[in-house]
Chain A
């Protein structure tokens, strides 16, 4: 019973957050709805015993990515009127068609499997104590080289960003 409650509360919060993202008029409210969704997903990860993934979810998505979103919203300006004009021809029609197909596939799979939820994989009793230790164990032994190499990726991304962004700033100073 306790597990069901632990599942139901965050999952309903996820859906409410997603609905806020879609329907709220104010962009800041949209962003906050997204934060709600992401945090609730992190709670579900914890109930599934994946503490490391939950922490990464909180730090990266709810922390860093959402801050970026808010930065962009603040830069563009909150009070700007929403542009709800269709930019692609027949956008509504296409999206609703894809949505209908998705829903009907889901319903078909659910009905044909007689509402069993373990479609492909059998339910397993899988309890691992403390995933961070396990991840660190492999990450710092057999995966040490890829782990270190990612630092080159970071340097490259930084250098690329500076190389592309630097020029415009100089021009502004000149003008």
Chain B
């Protein structure tokens, strides 16, 4: 028995976070079906589950320190720096959004447990996706994550916009999954491989010049399937509607977790699989980056709904992060830095929105913010910090991340992309500062009344705002982490 599990590479520490999340959902399910459990016990179970997930992610570091980069389950699950960072980020997203998704789920009464199960399951799916070495494993993880997100978007059945968001997300997301799985099949047909490391070995074996066209098309289709999830430009059509329609309390989680998982997988593809043929994708990646940055900036300027604005801002940020990932190993480190700072700001902004406009609301006009600064000093302060961070003002982490990214791109001699990114940053100041102006400075007659904020919300918002400022002043800890991540791939 022991021998067989050794041959198959079965190791339960490496899938520990997934197992813990699964166990938590099963306990929750059991509590709902059999005994009528009070709500606060469910909250306790969920919170303990998330803490246990963080702990089991911590255990993976020990395994990594002992064995180094290893694959488990006969080359299905991989433990490397990318998977560790991805695990930590997904755990962090779960922890930081716990307050808002809990309150949202509580408000959808009679469906609280379903919502929690969907959230925890989607996290476990994205964890598997980040860990995947085999592309089939990646596909299964992506599907587990996305199907839960499709349902989460439409959980507020009474709201027309929420239904629309769910259906749109489901249809376009299934199309993207089709493209992804077709790309995997094409890659398998042309080179008889379906793994991350296998791809780079096969390419170095036949020589970068002799890679057949079918495998190029397959790789591009896999990348397109992943780019859809991060809403990069030609594939961004779903993002504004989904962000606008979904319950506000969930959007922070939905947006950040999908972005984290897809970008980590893209980074690993670029660092490992496409290592020897990365230059051949320059035209493809360049088009996607320039299109997403320009289209995002163009559409973001005339949005009245601030959730749509954040969606288009997400398109721009995807372009930014992708520019580092597609240029080389050092660029990947800059991109991961950017990703970490961006998701903290994104979660912060959506937490503020859900506090102001209610957890289940869908529409959220910029004018709803007017006069926020009069009564709610704390909310205005944190909101402005996050917005300025996303815009990239100095003293916030947004500036440092843009600075590191653009210096890296400059050293890779990608001048055109640098110019376009700088232009969009300048344009971004207009639409990022407009909500701050409306909220804090502009005088208005009907200002937002004083909103009671719970202690935990205050703590989380303060924590994220502090991180935004801290990484703007002293970025070296985070820079060291991202440098450690790519050390082995230089």
Contacts and interface: CB of A to CB of B under 8 A. Distances in A.
B154 interface: yes
20 contacts: A141-B8, A145-B10, A145-B74, A146-B136, A146-B137, A146-B140, A149-B128, A152-B121, A153-B125, A155-B25, A156-B118, A156-B122, A156-B125, A156-B147, A159-B114, A159-B148, A159-B151, A167-B111, A167-B158, A168-B157
B144 A156 contact: yes
B179 to A, nearest CB: 19
Interface residues of A, number: 23
Contacts of A153: 125, 140, 143-144, 147
B134 interface: yes
Contact of A144 (B73, B140, B154): B73
Interface residues of B, number: 37
Contact of B134 (A144, A146, A150, A159): A146
B400 interface: no
A146 B18 CA distance: 13
Given A145-B76, A170-B110, A163 B151 contact: yes
A86 to B, nearest CB: 22
A123 B195 CA distance: 28
A146 B77 CA distance: 10
B343 interface: no
Interface in B115-148: 115, 117-118, 121-122, 124-125, 128, 134, 136-137, 140-141, 143-144, 147-148
Interface in B154-194: 154-155, 157-158, 166
B74 A141 contact: yes
Closest CB pairs A-B (n = 6): A160-B151, A163-B114, A142-B74, A145-B73, A167-B157, A156-B121
Interface majority SS on B: helix, strand, loop or mixed? helix
A8 interface: no
Nearest to B25: A155
Given A153-B147, A156-B148, A163-B115, A144 B8 contact: yes
Given A156-B147, A156-B148, A159-B118, A164 B110 contact: no
A145 B77 contact: yes
A163 B111 contact: yes
Contacts of A149: 128, 137, 140-141, 144
B22 interface: yes
A164 B157 CA distance: 7
A16 interface: no
B150 interface: yes
A104 B239 CA distance: 39
Contact of B118 (A144, A160, A166, A170): A160
A166 to B, nearest CB: 7
Q: Which of A144, A153, A168 has the most CB of B within 10 A?
A: A153
Contacts of B151: 159-161, 163-164
A175 to B, nearest CB: 14
Contacts of A162: 114
Contacts of B77: 145
A166 B121 contact: no
Nearest to B21: A152
Given A142-B8, A156-B121, A163 B128 contact: no
Q: Which of A142, A144, A146, A160 has the most CB of B within 10 A?
A: A160
A157 interface: yes
A157 B174 CA distance: 13
Interface in A93-122: none
B19 to A, nearest CB: 10
Contact of A152 (B111, B125, B154): B125
Contacts of B158: 167
Interface string B24-44: 010000000000000000000
B2 to A, nearest CB: 16
A163 B415 CA distance: 49
